């Protein structure tokens, strides 16, 4: 009965068309650094069926005139903590067509909302979820203290549609090993933070963890040991090649989330920053919950400066990218003050470019690399992150070439996700009632 309700809730205008043709588009396919001009992209049942300058377009296909426009893959934010359908619609309006919820999703979100999103019953990116587990109740994650509990957690994750187990700081080595073993057996890989008792990221990656969830984790779990980290000491740049070798040795991915540590560093010791963030125009789409929580977060209460560490992480990301360590985009939005949904992903791309990455390298973190990560973790699922035949048709249409100006992606002319095409007017129509409700709730 639930799926029928979702189907009835989908407006007729948003029903997926079986065939859609983007005609005369300039493509940024992101399979490699190149541009293909004057191409037609035929989408059938949510997949890319054909690409070419002169392909046959079926008579029943809906045509989208993309002349003098640029078609590129939809974006992925692989570290988010969104909770509502409103949050998902906001992501879609920013061109985000895939998200990884990194823990503490409600049961309703992890199951009902995820299923609704992934079956096109609601306007949303494709959702992947991670079950966060820890060896202590300190951070509010699922408590796992023994090997038996660890295996049970992975079984629970599989039964509830989770794609990943997110490991957290206070797990025991015994529990970590059991999570890794059960994850391999049941197809639920490990991702996450530094686990202090494991003695460093090297051991975690060797045991099977496939993603380091923050660039900053290398400070805590590789360059310094957690028990000797002063909280502000900056690793020498001469230590970066060793980190590169370690990640490549284990074929791991790294979340290049410069925006996350950047906003934490920006507000350290500066209580006025919460108000500064809330004065930004993006606040119109910020849930009243976060308008109340951001000023109380406590990130402003610590002393000292994290800016030198933030600068080091920029150099680390640049070195990783140049060494072809696979970086993926993540933001941690919206739980940390200043991290607006959707907006933060674009700010992160800008920070990566400012760190010295080429625009192609920066954009790859949110497209082809994100797709490669999911392909490794979830073999058999439809590919995404590139515009290639057979891939999921996650697409963004922009006025300019993103390889010349990444900012063009912030305001897409249209977005396709789950086989549904929404032009700018349709995207704005998703946002208007959200902004109105939030404004009414905060008067």
For 395, the 3-state DSSP assignment is strand
Token pair 């797709």 is found at 371
Q: How many helices (H) and strands (E) does the chain have?
A: 17, 17
Residue 239 CB burial class (10 angstroms; 0-12, 13-18, ≥19): middle
User: What pTM, to 2 d.p., does this model score?
Assistant: 0.95
The reported pLDDT for the residue numbered 232 is 86
Residue 393 CA to residue 19 CA, distance in Å, equals 11
Q: Which helix (H) or strand (E) holds 41?
A: strand 36-44
Task: Say if residue 264's pLDDT is above 50.
Answer: yes
- Please, what sign has the CA dihedral across residues 394, 400, 405, 409? negative
Residue 438 CA to residue 153 CA, distance in Å, equals 36
The candidate with the shortest Cα–Cα distance to 122, out of 182, 82, 176, is: 82
The reported pLDDT for the residue numbered 395 is 98
Mean pLDDT, rounded, for 289-297? 95
Longest CA–CA span in the chain (Å) reads 67
Q: Which two tokens stand for residue 39?
A: 């191409």
The reported pLDDT for the residue numbered 271 is 93
Task: Say if residue 9's pLDDT is above 70.
Answer: no
- Are 259 and 351 contacting, i.e. CB atoms less than 8 angstroms apart? yes
Angle 169-316-258 (CA atoms, 0-180°, nearest 5)?
A: 65
**What phi, psi does 250 have (nearest 5°)?**
-110, 10
Q: Which helix (H) or strand (E) holds 153?
A: helix 147-159
CB atoms under 10 Å from CB of 199, counted, come to 14
Mean pLDDT, rounded, for 220-231? 78
Question: What digits encode the pLDDT tens for the residues 106-165?
Answer: 999 999 999 999 999 999 999 999 999 999 999 999 999 999 999 999 999 999 999 999
Question: What digits encode the pLDDT tens for the residues 359-413?
Answer: 999 999 999 999 999 999 999 999 999 999 999 999 999 999 999 999 999 999 9
- Are 98 and 125 contacting, i.e. CB atoms less than 8 angstroms apart? yes
Q: Which two tokens stand for residue 188?
A: 């639920």
């Amino acid at each position: 009965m639930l799926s029928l309700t979702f189907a009835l809730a989908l407006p007729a205008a948003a029903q997926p068309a079986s065939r859609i043709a983007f005609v005369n588009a300039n493509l940024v396919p992101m399979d490699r650094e190149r541009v293909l001009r004057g191409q037609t992209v035929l989408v059938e049942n949510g997949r890319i069926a054909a690409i070419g300058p002169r392909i046959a377009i079926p008579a029943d296909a809906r045509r989208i005139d993309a002349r003098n426009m640029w078609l590129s893959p939809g974006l992925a934010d692989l570290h988010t903590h969104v909770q509502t359908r409103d949050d998902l619609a906001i992501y879609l309006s920013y061109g985000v067509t895939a998200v990884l919820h990194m823990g503490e999703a409600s049961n309703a979100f992890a199951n009902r909302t995820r299923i609704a999103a992934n079956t096109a019953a609601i306007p949303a990116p494709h959702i992947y979820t991670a079950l966060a587990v820890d060896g202590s109740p300190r951070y509010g994650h699922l408590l796992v203290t023994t090997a038996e509990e660890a295996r049970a957690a992975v079984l629970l994750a599989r039964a509830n549609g989770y794609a990943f187990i997110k490991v957290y700081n206070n797990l025991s080595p015994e529990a970590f090993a059991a999570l890794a073993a059960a994850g391999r057996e049941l197809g639920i890989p490990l991702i996450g933070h530094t686990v202090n008792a494991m003695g460093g990221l090297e051991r975690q990656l060797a045991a099977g963890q496939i993603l380091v969830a923050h660039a900053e984790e290398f400070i805590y779990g590789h360059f310094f040991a957690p028990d000797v980290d002063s909280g502000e000491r900056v690793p020498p740049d001469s230590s970066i090649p060793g980190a590169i070798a370690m990640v490549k040795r284990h074929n791991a991915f790294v979340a290049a989330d410069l925006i996350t540590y950047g906003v934490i560093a920006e507000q350290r010791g500066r209580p006025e920053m919460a108000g500064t963030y809330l004065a930004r125009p993006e606040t119109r789409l910020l849930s009243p919950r976060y308008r109340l929580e951001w000023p109380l977060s406590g990130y402003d209460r610590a002393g000292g400066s994290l800016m030198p560490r933030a600068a080091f992480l920029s150099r680390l990301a640049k070195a990783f990218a140049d060494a072809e360590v696979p970086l993926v985009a993540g933001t941690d939005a919206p739980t940390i003050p200043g991290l607006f949904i959707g907006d933060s992903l674009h700010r992160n791309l800008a920070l990566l470019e400012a760190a010295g990455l080429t625009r192609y390298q920066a954009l790859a973190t949110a497209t082809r690399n994100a797709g490669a990560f999911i392909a490794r973790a979830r073999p058999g699922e439809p590919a995404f992150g590139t515009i290639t035949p057979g891939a999921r048709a996650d697409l963004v249409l922009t006025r300019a070439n993103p390889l010349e100006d990444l900012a063009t992606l912030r305001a897409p002319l249209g977005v396709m996700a789950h086989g549904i095409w929404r032009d700018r007017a349709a995207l704005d129509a998703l946002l208007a009632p959200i902004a109105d409700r939030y404004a009414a709730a905060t008067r």
